[in-house]
Amino acid sequence: MIPIYLQSPIPALYSGVPSLSPAVRSYLLAAASGLLLTASFPPFGAWPLAWVALIPLLWAVVAAPDAKAAANLGAVAGLVFYGISLHWLVRVFGPVAAAFWCLFALLLALHSALVWKTARLWLDQGREGAWVATAAVTWVGIEYFRSEVWSLNCSWLALGYSQVPNAPLLQSCALFGLYVLSGLIVAANATLSLLPNRRAPVARMLAAAFVLAAWGTMRLRQPDAGRTARVALVQDENYDLRRFDKLSLDGAAKDADLLVWPEYGFTVPENNPEPLRKLLAQGLKGSKAVAVLSGGIFPDDLKRGFEQNFSWVLSPAGELLGRYDKHHPIPFVEPRLRPNRTPAPVVTPLGVIGVQICYDLDFEDGARRLQRQGAEILAVPDLDPHEWGSWQHRQHSAMTPARAVESGLWVARAASSGDSQIVDSRGRTRAELPPMVSAALVGEVRLTAGGTLYTRIGWILPRLCFLLTALLIGWIAATALSTRFTA
């Protein structure tokens, strides 16, 4: 007999379907959470659903007979969520994409097992607040591990990204970052999941949400700071230098102060890059912009050399002002690329430019470190191939506003086939080009010192959650081993 505070209120919904076993009902609840999570993210963008999406899963998990059953429920929710939302991975990795879905689902399974275990620890003692807090902290710890720590680091579909359209609450990223925003969403789900059978800290949750939303609204009303400049973002996947030059010099693009090309816009000879650099400068003659041009070097003998993915930053006169090499190579896609361990901004006549190349912007550390070194804007060459589809493009574009809010910097992102974006320091998209369009996006940006509470100290919180989660897992494992040996 399951105690009343651990029972799910859902079985009544199935009263007319007596053939469904409790196990099947639980798996249906888990699958429902997977579908609700899918709807919370682009391309659907139903962000309010994220605040209730986990409730069916939590009901099923807390009522599960043991941790293994709870983990299985989390795995089902994860497979539905990641399998649907990241279906486009098949276009990148083929059948191996299923392995990525399973790995991500296993981490959701781990969280579900921890939720089940801590329900027995905290709810037995009537400590609902402690259980809610533990559910949130462990989610942040696991999400941070998946996104930033292990060798397959990938922040795609971190829960906080669902809130990009929710501009007031997105401002909380300036305080404690995207991953802790994920934790707040989980805390809300956990709190609401308790309502049917027992008292829950709803008043505290609503008060916290109101304070954050009110503060975010006031932050959005603050006037823009910094020096204004014009930026031109070239979006084209033909990889024809003449085409890039034409888009860079046509119309309003010619008068831009900053020019950004997409990632891997050209290939540089391994041992003699200077002639190509001069050719690029000659092609842009007549432009007054500081140019961020991204290219690649591919050694003839990969066994003896490494690939390079970099951006040259050129002055309006074509002089080389600096070079930035990619910080975060894409696992499996760029296996021969050495990561840049010391990313630094480039000083230019326009200002201090922080460069992030494509996958770099998916992580919190690059933008934060560049801002701390004096970057006044983020220029982002990006490669999102046409064949990866619109879901991939929309999901990737949703990450840009989070980095802008965390760092307090404007972001100018030139994507090969979209979405090219101009995003302000509050995470609002000021201008963008839709996917699969070849054009130059021209608009106004601001160069500012940026900086937020997050860049100063808030970035520690996700790491602390990761440490606490590791300690909890270690304590549970040690307790289980001790019990087994004692028995």
Look at residue 115 and tell me whether its pLDDT is greater than 80. Answer: yes
Percent of the chain with pLDDT over 90: 76
Residue 454 forms part of a structural domain: no
Parallel/antiparallel/unpaired status of strands 290-297 and 320-325: unpaired
The confidence score (pLDDT) of residue 400 equals: 97
Average pLDDT, the chain: 91
In order of 37, 361, 381, the CA distances from 391 in angstroms are 15, 18, 20
- Domain of 440 in residue numbering reads as 227-449
The confidence score (pLDDT) of residue 239 equals: 85
Domain count, the chain: 2
The confidence score (pLDDT) of residue 246 equals: 94
Over range 156-169, report the average pLDDT: 96
Same domain, 170 and 303: no
Residue 3 forms part of a structural domain: no
Q: How confident is the model at residue 11 (pLDDT cuts 50, 70, 90)?
A: very low
**DSSP reduced 3-state for 323:** strand
Same domain, 314 and 257: yes
The span from the first CA to the last CA of the chain, in angstroms, equals 25
CA angle 432, 435, 439 (to 5 degrees): 65
Residue 250 forms part of a structural domain: yes
In order of 139, 151, 305, 328, 342, the CA distances from 337 in angstroms are 31, 14, 10, 9, 15
The confidence score (pLDDT) of residue 69 equals: 96
User: What is the torsional sign of CA 463, 180, 83, 88?
Assistant: negative
Same domain, 109 and 258: no
- Per 3-state DSSP, what percentage of the chain is helix, strand, and coil (rounded to 5)? 55, 15, 30
Give exposure, 231-265, as e/b (b: 16+ Cβ within 10 Å): bbbbbbbeeebeebbebbbeeebbebbbbbbbbbb
Look at residue 4 and tell me whether its pLDDT is greater than 50. Answer: no
User: What is the torsional sign of CA 470, 476, 480, 483?
Assistant: positive
- Which tokens is 396 given? 């990737």
Residue 2 forms part of a structural domain: no
Structural contact between residues 50 and 99, judged by C-beta atoms closer than 8 angstroms: no
Encode pLDDT of 167-222 as tens digits.
999 999 999 999 999 999 999 999 999 987 767 778 888 888 889 999 999 999 99
Structural contact between residues 288 and 255, judged by C-beta atoms closer than 8 angstroms: yes
Encode pLDDT of 411-460 as tens digits.
999 999 989 999 999 999 999 998 889 999 999 999 999 999 999 999 99
Same domain, 184 and 288: no
DSSP conformation letters of 336-362:
TB---SS---EE-SS-EEEE--GGGGG
User: What is the torsional sign of CA 231, 236, 239, 242?
Assistant: negative
- H-type alpha helices, 323-459: 364-372, 389-397, 400-407, 453
Same domain, 162 and 236: no
Same domain, 27 and 79: yes
Over range 98-118, report the average pLDDT: 95
CATH of the domain at 393: 3.60.110.10
Encode pLDDT of 251-295 as tens digits.
899 999 999 999 999 988 877 888 899 999 999 998 999 999 999
- Which tokens is 1 given? 């007999």
Q: What are phi and psi of 193, to 5 degrees?
A: -65, -20
Same domain, 285 and 165: no
Residue 62 forms part of a structural domain: yes
Same domain, 240 and 162: no
The confidence score (pLDDT) of residue 14 equals: 43
The confidence score (pLDDT) of residue 198 equals: 67
Same domain, 250 and 190: no
Over range 468-480, report the average pLDDT: 91
Residue 168 forms part of a structural domain: yes
Residue 4 forms part of a structural domain: no
**DSSP reduced 3-state for 422:** strand
Least confident of 12-26, 147-161, 389-403, 443-457: 12-26
Encode pLDDT of 47-100 as tens digits.
999 999 999 999 999 999 999 999 999 999 999 999 999 999 999 889 999 999
Q: What are phi and psi of 430, to 5 degrees?
A: -85, -30
Look at the block and give the residue holding tokens 């006031």. Answer: 218
Same domain, 28 and 171: yes
Q: What is the pTM of this model?
A: 0.92
Same domain, 204 and 231: no
Structural contact between residues 378 and 367, judged by C-beta atoms closer than 8 angstroms: yes
Same domain, 203 and 131: yes
